[in-house]
Structure 1
Amino acid sequence: MTEHELDQVIQRCRKEDALAQKMLYMHFYNYAMTICYRYTQNREEAQEVLNDGFFKAFKNLHRYESKGAFKFWLKKILVNTAIDHFRKHKNAPMVIDLVTAGNPGFEPGVLANLEAEELFNLVKRLPTSYRIAFNLHAVEGYSHPEIAEMLGISEGTSKSNLAKARQRLKAIIAKNYGLKKYG
């Protein structure tokens, strides 16, 4: 879909055109699902977040300005929806791919050798605020000012939560796997 076609579809969505809404949903489905899945335990839960996020996007399309990329506007809505969902379900841990999030200070290849279930169990031990800051920064690529604005915290708190998340992950991995930290 070209930028011009996207603008036309968005205009139709603003008029509550169901066909246009379906087109927009289908066009961004894979992109949106990837984002939502990072914050949830399974595809079903990710689908729920995705649908809630698109509902919010359609409801707030009047706030979208064509100057910026729609994809990034939608991403912000999806991430905020995922955070809201996570807050509602505090006992549901967030899955983060530590391998793609960067090396938190262990010998090369250590994280790559951990099974997905092991990573899941390690990350779920982090306090909610640390997990969210880690995911937003290391996985989603948001800056600390953006995270601060999204979560209603200071930039310093965002930096602190990320640093503490990394420290705790290092300690958890070292303790559970008897691995020597470096760096």
Structure 2
Amino acid sequence: MKSLVKKILEGDEKAVEVLYKTYSQDILKYLQNRVPHEEAFEILNDAFLEAIDGMIMLKKDSNLKAWLYRIAYNKTIDYYRKTKVKSILMSQIPFLEIVDSEVHQPEFQLEKARLKEKIEKAFLSLSQRYREILTLHYENRMSIKEIALQFEISAKATESLLYRARQSFIRAYERG
């Protein structure tokens, strides 16, 4: 396989085709066991493009197959991160789906005011510590590390505190 890598680095398109034919089916099966089937093909292609672009970084004694699987694994993690962020945004902020032209209509203004009131009520029901960490992280855009220094606790403890504060806020928000 070392000669295959060398040929790819030299720009040999046939070598790229051989690489794809040799490993794509196995990696596709791997991906289909981890992501929805329709996403697996896109992730597979992204993984191979990244592999070809990054092949110069591949060490001579590296296992090519293991390296390709690692790229596919990382792409899978990226997929789930993006999916999670989208679902959180869409579930926690329902008014984002409203069309821009409707934003200025009176019904929307009333709904926006109700939503703001509900958010404030949920926020004010939290403990002082939870309100403080949420404010520092989301309004002041402080990193976990910066908050940890301010609270004089470890980064792990800060992450845990932030998680509990978010969960507490969500429960308070859902109670209305």
- The TM-score with structure 1 as length reference comes to 0.44
Pick the structure with greater CA Rg. 2
Name the one with the larger helix percent.
2
- The TM-score with structure 2 as length reference comes to 0.46
> Higher RCO, 1 or 2 (CA under 8 Å, sep at least 6)?
1
